[in-house]
Amino acid sequence: MMKRTEIENSEVNESAPASLTDVCKISFKTGTRGRKRICEAAPEPPPSFIPGSLPRVTRLMALAIKFDAMLSRGEVRDFADLARLGYVSRARITQIMNLLTLAPDIQEALLSFPRTTTGQDPIREHNLRPIVGVPFWNRQRKMWKAMKNNRLSSP
């Protein structure tokens, strides 16, 4: 059921429009003692639903970037503050923040992984830990390529 409500606003402000019209879907529900009350209809789902979910490693990479920005802005002092905010250990925050030591193209690849629709994510954060430990980006890229080919080619 569509209902239009008009509010006359001519006395309040001369420059304001003469009337306002709001269009929304409403429904009536029976309340206590048989009284009817107006309820706004449930919002419609977004028009473009994308199936699947983002891989966890993608979310962790984005979280590491967000944490780094929070540290640089001074919103938190150190990893201990981040750990308290996230209800995780300082060691876990270190593991997440170590993703920032990856080569920029590897970080970009992690952020642009396709959504997982069935089964487990092909690459997990613990698979990246040996790569994160290597300080040279060219070696990281070689290890990443080998690991990616191995993990993504197997079922």
| Mean pLDDT over the full length of the chain | 82
Give the residue, 93 or 21, on which the prediction is more confident: 93
What confidence tier does 55 reach under pLDDT thresholds 50, 70, 90? very high
Kindly indicate the confidence band of residue 23, based on its pLDDT and cuts at 50, 70 and 90: low
User: Hey, what amino acid is at 59?
Assistant: R
Judged by DSSP in three states, 48 sits in coil
Please state, in angstroms and rounded to a whole number, the distance separating the CA atoms of residues 103 and 81. Answer: 26
Phi (first) and psi of residue 134, to 5 degrees: -90, 125
DSSP-assigned states of every residue in 67-115: HHHHHHHTSS-SHHHHHHHHTS-HHHHHHHHGGGGS-HHHHHHHHTPPP
pLDDT over 90 (residue 12):
no
Question: What mean pLDDT comes out for the span 126-150?
Answer: 94
Q: Give the residue from 102, 103, 105, 97 showing the smallest Cα distance to 78.
A: 97
pLDDT tens per residue, range 78-134: 999 999 999 999 999 999 999 999 999 999 999 999 888 888 888 999 999 999 999
Contact criterion met (CB below 8 Å) for 109 and 115:
no
Helix residue ranges per DSSP H, 4-89: 56-73, 79-86
For residues 98, 102, 104, 106, the Cα torsion angle rounded to the nearest 10 degrees is -120
pLDDT at 42: 65
- Kindly report the pTM of this predicted structure: 0.67
